[in-house]
Structures are given as structure tokens and as C-alpha cells.
């Protein structure tokens, strides 16, 4: 039981990091693009679902929701990873900060899916 709670704490921490990431990139962009807050919205979702899961006796539904949200976040941000790779290899890309934000969101989402899957298996 404690290991599941540790997983939910980790997912909540990733949610906090994503929320801060979105706010940071929104401020760095000068507040010009509301889409830079997308990581914050996903982060709030992870925080809420992790909190909800710790309050439930049956953790199946919150875990499936966490994993599903993580998959959506990963699919929505995977292009940033490819843009970052192109940028590292010397190509010019339109939004280098956007590529970095999407890559960080992708890596965070993959971590959430992995942690959620391990917690689901242990439940």
C-alpha cells in the first residue's frame, strides 16, 4: 500500500513540475501564447488525479485516468522531441523554446505513464 502512495506522490510532484514549467515558459514568451500553459493544465490534471487516487479505496479508475492523461500528454508533445533533435543537429526551427517545453512535457508524461503502470500492476 505504501508503494502505491509513493507512486501517487511522485505523480503529484511531476504535476507540480509541469505546472511550474508551463508558467515559466508562459512568462519567458512574454505572455504572448496561451498554448505555453498547456503543461500547466496537464500538471493540474495529474495533481488532481493523484490526490483523488490517494482518497479512494479502489485505485483502478484513478490509475487508468492518470495513465490515459499521460498517454495524451505524451502524444501531444512528442513532436517537440523531434524538433529538439533537429535543433541539436544544427537545423533551424521556428520555436526553440517551444521545442524544449514540449520535450520536457513528453519526458514527464512518459514518466507518469511508467509510474502509473507500475502502481496499477502492484494494486
pLDDT of residue 30: 87
Global confidence as pTM: 0.89
Q: What is the pLDDT of residues 53-93, one digit of tens each?
A: 888 888 889 999 999 999 999 999 999 999 999 999 999 98
* Cα→Cα distances 112→18, 26, 45, 49, 98, Å: 11, 23, 12, 12, 21
Across residues 17-38, what is the average pLDDT?
A: 91
Across residues 26-34, what is the average pLDDT?
A: 87
The 3 state secondary structure assigned to the chain is CHHHHHHHHHHHHHHHHHHHHHHHHHHHCCCCCHHHHHHHHHHHHHHHHHHHHHCCCCCHHHHHHHHHHHHHHHHHHHHHHHHHHHHHCCCCCCCHHHHHHHHHHHHHHHHHHHHHHHHHHHC
pLDDT of residue 33: 82
What is the domain partition of the chain in residue ranges? Answer: 2-122
pLDDT of residue 1: 43
pLDDT of residue 52: 92
pLDDT confidence band for 4 (50 / 70 / 90): low
Amino acid at each position: 500500500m505504501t508503494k502505491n502512495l509513493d507512486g501517487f506522490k511522485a505523480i503529484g510532484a511531476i504535476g507540480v513540475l509541469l505546472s511550474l514549467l508551463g508558467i515559466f515558459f508562459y512568462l519567458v514568451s512574454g505572455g504572448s501564447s496561451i498554448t505555453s500553459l498547456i503543461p500547466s493544465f496537464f500538471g493540474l490534471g495529474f495533481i488532481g488525479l493523484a490526490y483523488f487516487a490517494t482518497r479512494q479505496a479502489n485505485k483502478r479508475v484513478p490509475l487508468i485516468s492518470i495513465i490515459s492523461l499521460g498517454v495524451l500528454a505524451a502524444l501531444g508533445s512528442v513532436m517537440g522531441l523531434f524538433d529538439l533533435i533537429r535543433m541539436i543537429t544544427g537545423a533551424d526551427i521556428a520555436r526553440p523554446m517551444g521545442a524544449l517545453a514540449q520535450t520536457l512535457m513528453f519526458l514527464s508524461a512518459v514518466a507518469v505513464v511508467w509510474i502509473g503502470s507500475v502502481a496499477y500492476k502492484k494494486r
